[in-house]
Amino acid sequence: MRESFHEELNRLRTELRRMCALTAEAIRRASRSLLTADLDIAEQVIAADAEIDWARADCESQAQALLALQAPKAHDLRAILAAIYCADRFERMGDLAAHIAGITRFAHPACAIPVELEPAFAEMGGAAAGMADRLAELIARECACGFADLAETDQTIDTVRARVLTLITSDQWPHGVQAAINLALLARFYERFGDQAVAVANRLGFAETGELPFHIHT
- pLDDT tens-digit series, residues 42-97: 999 999 999 999 999 999 998 888 888 766 677 788 889 989 999 999 999 999 99
pLDDT tens-digit readout, 161-212: 999 999 999 999 999 999 999 999 999 999 999 999 999 999 988 887 777 6
- The backbone torsions φ and ψ at residue 146, rounded to the nearest 5 degrees and listed phi first, read -95, -5
Question: To the nearest 5 percent, what fractions of the chain are helix, strand and coil?
Answer: 85, 0, 15
Q: What is the structure's pLDDT at 217?
A: 45
Q: What is the model's pLDDT at position 72?
A: 64
- Residue 70 has a pLDDT of 66
Cβ neighbors of 36 (< 8 A, separation 6 or more) are 111
**Rg over CA atoms, the chain:** 19
pLDDT digits (tens, 9 = 90+) for 31-40: 999 999 999 9
Please choose, from the candidates 158, 41, 50, 161, the residue with its C-alpha nearest in 3D space to the C-alpha of residue 102.
41
DSSP state of 174: -
Q: Is the dihedral of CA 21, 198, 196, 31 positive or negative?
A: negative
pTM of the model: 0.92
